[in-house]
Amino acid sequence: MNHPFPDAGAPARPVVPITVAHGDGIGPEIMEASLRVLNAAGAALAPEIIEIGEKVYLNGASAGIEDSAWESLRRTKVFYKAPITTPQGGGFKSLNVTVRKSLGLFANVRPCASLSPLVATHHPDMDVVIVRENEEDLYAGIEHRQTDDVVQCLKLISRPGCERIVRYAFEYARINGRKKVTCLSKDNIMKLTDGLFHQVFDEIARDYPDIQNDHWIIDIGAAKLAVAPEQFDVIVTSNLYGDIISDIAAEVIGSVGLGGSANIGEHGAMFEAIHGSAPMIAGQGVANPSGLLLAGVQMLVHIGQADIAGNIHNAWLKTLEDGIHTGDIASEGLTRRTVGTSDFVEAVIERLGQTPNRFKSAVYDSSVGAVEIAPYRRRQRQAKTFVGVDVFIDFPNPDADRLAIQLNAAAGDSRLKLELITNRGVKVWPQGLPETFRTDHWRCRFMLKGEGGAAEVIDLLTRLAGAGVEFVKTEHLYKFDGKPGYSLGQGQ
């Protein structure tokens, strides 16, 4: 018989300090359950427990984490985290986003492989790894209400951010023997932001001729992932799309409760389930601990305890194979016993040292799998030329012609000349369509005639303010190496 503790008799391995948070909702139940398995398997861990989440938010820490907890995180650099509940309402920032961004955990790696025939799925051949960018995109959390009608959220995509995540995805693919990397973006609409992501993907793909690459628009890509996931291998995508498709992928293999994820960066790593705190089933002892347990497996590989990781993964597979399932994955024909959280992990512990019979065993090697990314090398800056300004105006009257007359009168002989007005991105002046609905938020594009820069913008804004025009923000328009760094109005 295999010994449940492969280290028995071997010199003691170094104990690794980790920071642990039990979270909210089902968090404490599944964390306690997962740690029980890790301990029983002989993981050499020294957990430091920190408090995060709802209680901390409601005590007045708007990020849901105390300063003392940061101290532990920055020291251990390994965070094993249960899901938390972000209280509804204004003023609370997402703790997950704060931790990922503060520690620079730029890559979110979410493996999603079918467990057929152990868990029912329509897609037995699915084996996808989603590499999600973790720090940018709409998750910058920069939002403003600008007029009575309109709020905005800023989508920030950077070249260093794209290069790092795309390179990570290709390196991950190479190290893990994967054949293809697929980029998902919406660059047919967001030509600059998603366009940059796709462009960087194409550039970096050329450095990996041994790995196939392709690109899908995210909407059809997500649909294909739901109905033909076996077409995908490694997927790389930006933050929001990655968040959405990870849940789709986890549900396709059986349950969102099965998904674990690693958040990797230069200054640390965080391991968590992909699902949330599931308040509806909290305290009932029925939650599936698998997502957090598999995140723990990823953590053990990360800290050099790959043999224990493999032991746990195989015991978990054997448990599923023996038909011992939590309610979320129970199905007729495959489930022999439907159990709660505690009985499920007891069954896993009983099977430590065993391997599945019908399912391929998991094998991990700590010397393989650490993805190294070269430090970012800034390319030569492009020549940047000021060519105009978009002035966003709060104007409650739906008459675009009247707004244009008012703006032209106010601008007078400014070198910035009104060229275009859009409302929610659609051209309404000159020659807009009467059918176009208009809010109170107008983008008014002034193009530079002759020489000039910021001084012309200040002059224009002074004139507009003097005429009582209420501007709510400006965006400068530049060309980079002669190419416009701004989008056209729809219908322009």
Give me the residues that bind ligand NAD (CB under 6 A), please: 26, 83-86, 96, 256-257, 272, 275-281, 287-288, 291, 328
Please state the closest distance from residue 369 (CB atom) to ligand NAD, in A: 23
| CB nearer ligand NAD, residue 100 or residue 167 | 100
Please state the closest distance from residue 37 (CB atom) to ligand NAD, in A: 15
Please state the closest distance from residue 84 (CB atom) to ligand NAD, in A: 4
β-strands 16-21, 78-81 pairing: parallel
Q: Rounded to the nearest 10 degrees, what angle do helices 306-321 and 341-350 cross at? A: 110
| CB nearer ligand NAD, residue 86 or residue 237 | 86
Residue in the block written with tokens 């905005």: 152
DSSP state of 420: E
- Gyration radius from the chain CA atoms: 26
Angle at CA of residue 483, ends 481 and 485, nearest 5° = 105
CA dihedral 115, 303, 183, 227 (to 10 degrees): 10
Please state the closest distance from residue 330 (CB atom) to ligand NAD, in A: 11
Give the list of residues 6+ apart from residue 92 with CB closer than 8 angstroms, or none: 57, 62, 64, 86
| CB nearer ligand NAD, residue 277 or residue 423 | 277
Please state the closest distance from residue 311 (CB atom) to ligand NAD, in A: 22
Please state the closest distance from residue 244 (CB atom) to ligand NAD, in A: 12
Token duo for residue 394: 């709060």
| CB nearer ligand NAD, residue 252 or residue 287 | 287
Which of 16, 69, 20, 26 is CA-nearest to residue 291?
26
| CB nearer ligand NAD, residue 279 or residue 453 | 279
Please state the closest distance from residue 277 (CB atom) to ligand NAD, in A: 4
Residues 356, 361: Cα–Cα separation, whole Å:
6
| CB nearer ligand NAD, residue 175 or residue 244 | 244
Instruction: State the residue number with the nearest CB to ligand NAD.
Output: 276
| CB nearer ligand NAD, residue 234 or residue 256 | 256
User: Which H/E stretch holds residue 338?
Assistant: strand 337-339
**DSSP states of 393-430:** EE-----HHHHHHHHHHHHTT-SEEEEEEEETTEEEET
- Indicate the residue type of 269: A
Residues 43, 345: Cα–Cα separation, whole Å:
15
Token duo for residue 194: 């998603």
| CB nearer ligand NAD, residue 187 or residue 272 | 272
Please state the closest distance from residue 129 (CB atom) to ligand NAD, in A: 19
Residues 137, 390: Cα–Cα separation, whole Å:
22
Please state the closest distance from residue 21 (CB atom) to ligand NAD, in A: 10
Residues 310, 96: Cα–Cα separation, whole Å:
27
| CB nearer ligand NAD, residue 287 or residue 460 | 287
Whether residue 390 contacts residue 443, with contact meaning beta carbons closer than 8 Å, is answered with yes
